[in-house]
């Protein structure tokens, strides 16, 4: 009888110890090394296109106005020699700078054509009346025409020029760091608290 009691007490003690150990294995947390994935801004050098203004020298004609009087462009006999025909085209310089203007006059009949070319310097705001004259060798009914040729001036013009430059940009990069994690003690014993290194490629 005494032996049976001792065995029973031993069994209860064993069950009690097993219960306590089980509770401890389930409730107690133990640390282990794990991994955490996080995102970080990382700088890199990139190339970008941009438009820039660059000065350039450009030749442009002076502004002018045809101020020829009514009827003055019609071919008429010249006062100093009626065998010649004359016409009086006039031009005004309406630009901000002076220059040498030219005129090219043409006297044309049905059978012949002659030209007359002349130049004259005209200051800004002034005008000049050219005296064109010509004598076609054949034909009558002379028709006169003229064309003004203004001088050029240099101006600075800014043109759009495409360029490239290096700039610093930022991109999100996934990284891994070691962290301390916790799991139940029984999992640690059976090897369930291990983590593989994350694949972030």
- CATH number of the domain that 92 lies in? 2.60.40
74 domain-assigned: yes
* Whether residue 180 is found in the same domain as residue 146: no
* Whether residue 84 is found in the same domain as residue 146: yes
58 domain-assigned: no
Number of domains forming the structure of the chain? 2
The DSSP 8-state label assigned to residue 70 in this structure reads T
Region label for 75, one of left (φ > 0), alpha (ψ between -120 and 50) or beta (otherwise): beta
Given a cut of 60, whether residue 25 has pLDDT beyond it is: no
73 domain-assigned: yes
The DSSP 8-state label assigned to residue 137 in this structure reads S
- Report the distance separating Cα 26 and Cα 199, nearest Å: 31
- pTM (2 decimals)? 0.56
136 domain-assigned: yes
The chain-wide mean pLDDT, for the chain, equals 84
196 domain-assigned: no
* Whether residue 20 is found in the same domain as residue 92: no
Give the confidence band of 80 by pLDDT, cuts at 50, 70, 90: confident
* Whether residue 171 is found in the same domain as residue 134: no
Largest CA distance in the chain: 169
- Report the distance separating Cα 54 and Cα 197, nearest Å: 55
pLDDT at 84: 85
* Whether residue 75 is found in the same domain as residue 124: yes
Decide: 115 and 134 in contact? Cβ < 8 Å.
Answer: yes
* Whether residue 82 is found in the same domain as residue 121: yes
* Whether residue 111 is found in the same domain as residue 134: yes
Average the pLDDT over 57-78 and give the result: 88
Q: What is the pLDDT of residues 159-178, one digit of tens each?
A: 899 999 999 999 988 888 87
Give the residue, 188 or 107, on which the prediction is more confident. Answer: 107
Decide: 21 and 184 in contact? Cβ < 8 Å.
Answer: no
pLDDT at 176: 84
Q: What's the gap between Cα 31 and its chain centre?
A: 58
For residue 21, give the 3-state DSSP assignment: helix
Residue 180: Cβ-neighbour burial (10 angstroms; 0-12, 13-18, 19+): exposed
* Whether residue 145 is found in the same domain as residue 83: yes
pLDDT at 148: 97
Give the confidence band of 151 by pLDDT, cuts at 50, 70, 90: very high
142 domain-assigned: yes
Decide: 102 and 122 in contact? Cβ < 8 Å.
Answer: no
Boundaries of domain holding 169: 2-52+160-190
195 domain-assigned: no
Given a cut of 80, whether residue 16 has pLDDT beyond it is: no
């Amino acid at each position: 009888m005494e032996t049976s009691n001792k065995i029973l007490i031993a069994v209860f003690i064993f069950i009690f110890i097993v219960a306590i150990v089980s509770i401890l294995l389930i409730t107690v947390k133990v640390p282990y090394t794990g991994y955490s994935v996080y995102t970080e801004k990382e700088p890199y050098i990139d190339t970008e296109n941009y438009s820039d203004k660059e000065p350039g020298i450009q030749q442009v004609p002076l502004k002018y106005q045809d101020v020829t009087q009514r009827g003055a462009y019609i071919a008429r006999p010249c006062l100093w020699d009626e065998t010649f025909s004359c016409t009086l085209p006039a031009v005004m310089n309406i630009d901000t700078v002076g220059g040498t203007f030219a005129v090219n006059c043409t006297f044309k009949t049905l059978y012949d054509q002659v030209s007359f070319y002349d130049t004259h310097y005209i200051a800004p705001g002034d005008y000049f009346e050219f005296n064109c004259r010509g004598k076609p060798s054949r034909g009558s009914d002379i028709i006169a025409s003229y064309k003004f040729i203004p001088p050029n001036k240099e101006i600075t013009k800014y043109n759009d020029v495409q360029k490239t430059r290096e700039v610093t940009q930022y991109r999100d990069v996934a990284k891994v760091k070691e962290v301390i994690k916790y799991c139940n003690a029984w999992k640690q014993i059976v090897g369930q608290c291990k983590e593989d290194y994350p694949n972030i490629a």
